[in-house]
Each structure stands twice: as structure tokens, then as C-alpha cells.
Amino acid sequence: MMSSKKSILFVCVENSNRSQMAEAFARMLGPSSTQAYSGGSRPSGRINPKAIEAMRELGYDLTTHHSKGLEGFNGTRVEVAVTMGCGDVCPFYPGKRYEDWVLDDPAGQGIESVRVIRDEIKGRVEKLLAELLA
């Protein structure tokens, strides 16, 4: 088990797809000592309905989330900061560990493509959590 709380911040551009799903998986799969957050460099203000549908298929209600910017995280210390396929648009967010996950953007894609991206995010979150638990 984790000896202390571990916090993870997932960042993408709109905070409407990838980072929201990653936050959800960290909450679903991580121990209670895991704190998961997400934010966007240019938040859209809404969660993609296809991301909501894809997560509902796995029993998670993404409608409880909202798209938000990074301003609320200024000064928040995190164990891991993960940017998600947004290149130079995502700012560097300080953490003890920093990762950039290159992922397709689900925006504008059909549910089949969103499912593939969702499953890739799930696998990456599982790997990250396993590394944090080690």
C-alpha cells in the first residue's frame, strides 16, 4: 500500500476528454490514498458526451465532472503531473515526476475511436498506479 497520499494531475487542452477519463480511472483503480485531479490549458467548459458514454460503459459517471482550467492548481504540489497529447499547448506543471502521454484527441471522433483511446488511457493509468505503489 502507499505509505502516504499520492496526488496526480492530468492535463490536456480542453479538459473535456483525455484528462477527465484519466482522472476517473485513477479514482476508480487507485487506492483511497490516491488523489486525482484534471485540468485544461484552454478548458472547453463541458465534458464530451462521447467520453461520458464511453466511461458509463465501464460504470463511471463522468457527468459528475466539469471542465476546468489550471488556475485552481497554482501552488498545489503533486506527486505526478501528466500532460496528454497536447504538445506545446500544455504548460509544464511541476511535480516530483513529469510525463507526457502522446494520445489521440477524442474530440470529434466516433464512439468506437473514443473507446480505443479510453482503453489506452486505462492501461497507462494502471501502469502509473502500479509504479507509484511499488
Q: Judge whether 124 and 101 are in contact, CB under 8 Å.
A: yes
> How many alpha carbons lie under 13 Å from residue 24 in its C-beta half-sphere?
27
Query: CA distances (Å), 103 to each of 1, 41, 83, 106, 107, in order?
Result: 29, 16, 10, 9, 12
d(Cα 48, Cα 28) in Å, to the nearest integer? 19
On whether the CB atoms of residues 66 and 39 are closer than 8 A, the answer is no
Catalytic residue numbers, as ranges: 12, 86, 90
